[in-house]
Structure 1
Amino acid sequence: MHDIKLVRDNPEAFDQGLALRGLEPQSSQLIALDTQRREALTRQQEAETERNALSKQIGKAKASGDEDAFNRLRTEVDRLKTVLEEAGQQARHFDETLSQHLAALPNLPEEGVPAGEDEAGNVEQRRWGDPRAFDFEPKDHVDLGEGLGQMDFEGAAALSGARFVALKGPLARLERALAQFMLDLHTSEHGYLEVSPPYMVRDEAMFGTGQLPKFADDLFRTTDHRWLIPTAEVPLTNLAREAIHPESALPMRMTAHTPCFRAEAGSAGRDTRGMIRMHQFHKVEMVAITSPDESAAELERMTGCAEKVLQLLGLPYRVMLLCSGDMGFSAKRTYDLEVWVPSQKSYREISSCSNCGDFQARRMNARFRKEGEKRPLFLHTLNGSGVATGRALLAVMENYQNADGSITVPDVLRPYMGGVEVLGA
């Protein structure tokens, strides 16, 4: 959510930021609504002040027995009551309308984010690892998993439809091993607090992190009006909502391994084969909540934590700085980690780490107070995949495959696999 005061103070910069997002100027409309809201509030306050003053005069007129003055003052008070009610209704109307307009607008890119319309405008920052040179034609993860008899898309489709999969046996254990490895790494070495959050949340939580109202069609909703989480970012970040936190509690770093549920309404026809884009998948999420002064450094740290996962797994990847047109709704700066997928001969996203600034904090009223100061400030929130376990699984399968269709287990995962070194049929 944007601060209307910042829009009033610098409308040109606000519209320029929206232009980088591919949106038309909005400042004049927002300022007009804010002006009408403030004018209505002024009328309401003036009528309230005048009514209070006349009410005192009514008491004096009644005490003195001046019936004419009493009736005249009472008539004027009744008129002011009507003015008060009308001004209050107008103020609420303009406030709600302004809030709706502000809530529909994405965060503005911060300085240094490259301008661009889509992923073609993203800028590579660095690479790690070299793609493996196979002496045979590598298979994709679907052929590998089905060849092992441990990946069942048809059975899952019979249960749930397209974009679902059932993993079995050692392959299911390998996915679990990935999650355990990531959680252990983030909690023991990176200082994140493990949390087991709810998988269903209310409207307010989805609004707080920016999924609502804009992306309702990409979400799943229960019959009792709760939402299945599209990512653990939603419950973890909202744990800070509606509160004023002491500066000494910052930074708050949390991690969770949860299922994620996405309708993928906006991606029909994309990545229909395999586990790249699913309605249900698992992910280890990282969330950091910190002060404005520390959020830029926290983003670099978080990105490094996600990179460490891929480095220990021995998976080649690259880091991309997303352009203004490819960032998520709530982000002001985002790094994507893209892992090498041999069957596609390309890098594919496996983690996205974003600094949202105070955008989400304003939506959920999450603040902190500096020591010795009275006025609370809005927190900065960050989130990142650390990493998506399903995509990590397919990356391990494809990068560690053997000519006979078996899969070598990366060294770092073998303790979680009971010492198993190779997955075979």
Structure 2
Amino acid sequence: MQNFDSIRPFYDAEANAAIREIVDDPMLEAMMNFTFPSDTKEHWKDLMLHTHSLRDFQINFIYPGVKKVIEKSSDGLSISGFDVLEPNTAYLFISNHRDIVLDTSLLNASLYENGLVLTTSAIGDNLIKKPFLHTLSRLNRNFAIKRGVQGRALLESSLITSEYIKKSLLHENRSVWTAQKEGRTKDGNDATHRGVLKMLTLCEEGPNPFGYFEKIKLVPISISYEYDPTDILKMPELLAKSRDEKYIKSENEDFLNLLRGIMGTKKRIHIQVNGILDEEISEIAKMDINQAEKLSHLASIIDQRIWKGYKLWPSNYIAHDLLYGNEEYSGCYTAAEKSDFEKRLIEKVDTKNALMVKNFLAMYANPVNNQKKSLESQTTG
């Protein structure tokens, strides 16, 4: 049995002591003032000091905070497909990834409201270097993914992560959320990295690692923001990539992205559960091909589900028409919606920089292209 102390969330027995470590932190006070604006500090502190489990912390403090974020910074959250999920059942949710904290927070709020098992969720350890954020993430049932490691250290880290996920799903009946690739998708072009799927199978002993997927319930998730609250913050990395330059993050960039994601304008948000891939995995398992090819097949199926389930908003169609200089999707948005989007573009981007404009528009347009590809694949298939 691996020792998971370097990555795991707190155990319930550790929750109260961890809360006491941060209960006087100014950042926690700011969070609680936002979440409970009419409450007194003495009252929420007293409730927190009497909290002794991660679930109680999530339900009584994180969940109301997420609801307040939805109320203050969006035009509402809609969901679909959750009816295929069963209570008291653990799922591996593999999702496209747009926002550092909100993707998982919104999913867990939706799971809670539907009486379903909440997730333990992957988060890069680069995002939780501040002691307060590290403690808060562990109270919110996050497990850490080590970033910036290579060679043997990467293999060892991946194995521990794989075994932790397996333990959560099969021994603790705890759902798990992980992104389809390392880090957020900056350009809107969602793609499942085979390396993530390979990592998941490292815990499986024997000659057939792919058999791991037959033991679990894999669910692709699509999350769609009408406006990406961190769209402009993703521009420097996209520009560097387009110039084949190495991108180096500024010191507080991750933290700034985290805050902007929570409080930035999102308009409408949608989460789509794209079915359980039991039959698809069973079919792949029967194929007379090697493990790498099986993982490629599975990655392709996850992509198709995520693309098809992605809720396309007027912003996506407007960006597509602006990017390609036509009106192919003009029936999917109003003149007022186009005007609002163009205003956002002008406010956020130096419109004299053609490359920056192209990258900004592509970020919103790529989901349209991907959904078109998924529909074409469905037709030919």
Could you say which structure has the higher helix fraction?
A: 2
Q: Which has the larger radius of gyration?
A: 1
